[in-house]
Amino acid sequence: MSTLNPTLDHADHADHGDHSHGHDHAHKQSFISQYVFSTDHKMIGKQFLITTMLMMMVGGALALAVRWQLARPWERMPIFGDMVFGADGGQISPDAYTMLFTMHATVMIFLVIIPVLAGAFGNFLIPLQIGADDMAFPTLNMLSYWFMWPAIFLFGASFFMYGGGPASGWTSYPLLSLLREAAPGSGDAQTLWLLGLTFVGVSSMMGSVNYMTTIINMRAPGMTLFRMPLTIWSMFITAILQAFALPVLTAAGFMMVSDRMLGTCFFVPSGIVVNNAPPTVGGGQTLLWQHLFWFYSHPAVYIMLLPAMGMVSDMLACMCRKPVFGYKPMVYSMAAIAGLGFIVWGHHMFISGMNPALGMTFMVSTIMIALPSAIKTFNWIGTIWGGRVQFNSVMLYCTAFVSMFVIGGLSGIFMAAVPVDIYIHDTYFIVAHFHYVIFGATLFGVFGAIQFWFPKMYGRMMNETVGKIHFLLTFIGFNCTFYPMHMLGIAGMPRRYADPYHFPYLEHLLPLNQFMTAAAFLMGFAQFLLLGNFFYSMYFGPKCGRNPWGANGLEWTAPSPPGHGNFDVLPVVYHGPYEYGSPVSGDKDFLMQTEYVPLAQRVAAEEHH
């Protein structure tokens, strides 16, 4: 179905006579083309969402295994340990431990957070919120989903290679990741990991190109750039970030694959002897990988955050029944985060041995990136201020997003300051920090977004009580797991240690770690509530109309769920997206973007004000 020119579509229906009234079931689709190889952005979004939710459980299981080892080092792990590490008596061996945290990060970052934001919600929301009937390139869109699967298979298959899964961290610093002799997991597993990463990259890139084109070209009449919801702005900025940053990672990945398989030496210095293997011939630089990797992966941190910021802005305005405070500053600060995001990658490398003078410039740019984040936070509080707060689960998730983001942002300042970073670099402080941002902020935003847009996806509401219980358990579990990590970091406990209690000065941290592990298990099992609620509500939730939340966006003018082609009436946009509680909205407290208010009425309201 052509999407660039909706009138063609109408002409098509006219030819078939009586079909013209029903956009949604205009073409009868086979099961395969409707549910599997679908080119409908909504179906692709749902495919992404369900895939990422299942992957979240996989990544969570890996994390719980890591936590088990930290709470009960070298003890038999019931069930999971017996199944996976049966040969070792159910205990996690140190090399298995390195594989567990490597794959936890890999799954969570590349198969959960990035695809759930851009893939699931980007896909689902962009055409609906800008009033388009689909993406600009529907087939490319379908491919972007299906390119995830080779990645999932490659990551999965890497566990079954000789020596086990990749074990050099999600950052895969050479030479550990590069020389086969360096670690058991640096054999074929690492090659598969790199190829999997490339597939994820291709998938993201196809999405990114599609989103940019769609947002630029396919907005409904009246949808000017500054009438776009902040979700769309965030997706737009994220797509630009991805388009510019991703090629660097892909290139670096290919360089590493060629170092491993073709004998080039981009990252290999000469004369290195690993595990009594022959010396390397070399001539390369290991630091080059770190630069290339972080040149992508730092902007990727914002790819993992900005869309959630946009969605939370939308949800907060709706749940507080008042406009977003400072719409344009919100847009500009997102743009500033994206721009500055390209010149801060060196803060991952303060003590890596790069030129120390660079530490100074990277510190200043990194600390200054806190500014747009602060502006956004103040504007969110301004949005809540003086509103009519609806304390439903969506609002709870959004509140958690804001306050967890405050903690995550502030703890970032410690690490941005180079001298302090000397001490806390590669300790649990950093682990606390990025979990506060990626889990505390992004994932809570995503949980809210699932609850908020679920009615539009399936035409049914999710259960509110279960949502609140899920929120409460996750929130408590999250804070009890990750807040103490700040303390571990200050106590000097390094990351990625299979057994930190091996060191006398860390021995006393065992009880605290056991408490954190208990909290982590609580949090992990709470996610079954989300899954249960999601799949139950899909079939048995109460049905809802087009606009159950009383929201303003274009997506709420479409039927729930929207049919193929989205809108039964071509939307025309007259307002910005956040006219909640507007004096011209009459007896309701929202004013949909498509609702035309005659000039006389607007003038009257103005005078009355």
Partner 1 sequence: MHWWFPGDGNAYSTLGGKIDDLFYLILVIVSVTFVGTSAALGYALWRGASIKPEEKVWFSHGSHSLEVIWTIVPSAVLLFIALYQLDVWAEYRMKGFAKEKDGSPKQITVVAEVTARQFEWRIRYPANGKPLKPTPQPDDIYSVNELHVPTGGLVSITLRTDDVQHAFFVPMLRVKQDAVPGKMIPVWFDATMPRDYEMLCAELCGWGHYKMKAKLVAQSADDFEAWKNKASAEQFDDGYRKPAE
Query: Which parts of 327-346 interact with partner 1 (CB under 8 A)?
Result: 327-329
Task: Note whether 468 binds partner 1 by CB under 8 A.
Answer: no
Of 523, 525, 520, 526, give the one whose Cα is nearest residue 466: 526
Question: How many residues are listed for the chain in this entry?
Answer: 609
Does 538 contact partner 1 by CB under 8 A? no
Eight-class DSSP state of 235: H
How is residue 250 written in tokens? 């892909």
Could you identify the residue written with the tokens 């599997």? 36
Among the listed residues 115, 387, 445, 577, the single contact to partner 1 using CB under 8 A: 387
CB closer to partner 1, 135 vs 551: 551
Question: Segment near partner 1 (CB under 8 A), from 3-11, 118-126, 179-187, 532-540?
Answer: 179-187
- 157 in contact with partner 1 (CB under 8 A): no
CB distance 154 to 129 below 8 Å: no
Q: Which one, 122 or 359, has the nearer CB to partner 1? A: 359
Three-class secondary structure of residue 427 per DSSP = strand
Q: Among residues 123, 377, 451, 594, which is the contact residue for partner 1, using CB under 8 A? A: 377
Nearer to partner 1, 482 or 578 (CB): 578
- Compose the 567-596 pattern: x for residues touching partner 1 by CB under 8 A, - for all others: -----------x-xxxx-----x-------
Q: Which of residues 286-315 bind partner 1 (CB under 8 A)?
A: 286-287
- Residue 590: beta bridge partners? 580
Report DSSP state, residue 460: B
| DSSP conformation letters of 28-66 | ---HIIIIIS---HHHHHHHHHHHHHHHHHHHHHHHHHH
Q: For residue 216, state whether it binds partner 1 (rule: CB under 8 A).
A: no
Q: Is 580 helix (H, G, I), strand (E, B) or coil?
A: strand
Shortest distance, CB of residue 479 to partner 1, whole angstroms? 13
* Residue among 112, 143, 183, 197 that touches partner 1 (CB under 8 A): 183
- Residue 98's DSSP bridge partners are none
The helix-helix angle for 327-341 and 306-320 (nearest 10°) equals 170
Figure out which of the listed residues 6, 122, 165, 184 binds partner 1, where binding follows CB under 8 A.
Answer: 184
Stretch that binds partner 1, among 81-89, 136-144, 151-159, 414-422 (CB under 8 A): 414-422
What amino acid is encoded at 202 in this protein? V
Binding of partner 1 by 550 (CB under 8 A): no
The correct pick among 20, 29, 34, 403 for binding partner 1 (CB under 8 A) is 403
CA-based torsion, 188, 193, 195, 196: positive or negative: positive
Nearest to 474 by CA among 435, 515, 523: 523
Residue pointed to by tokens 């290991």: 286
Using CB under 8 A as the binding rule, whether residue 202 contacts partner 1 is answered as no
- Report the site for partner 1 in 64-93 (rule: CB under 8 A): 93
Q: Which is nearer to partner 1, 235 or 430 (CB)?
A: 430
Question: Per rule CB under 8 A, is residue 176 in the interface with partner 1?
Answer: yes
Stretch that binds partner 1, among 28-36, 173-181, 209-217, 439-447 (CB under 8 A): 173-181
Cα separation, 343 vs 366, in Å, equals 8
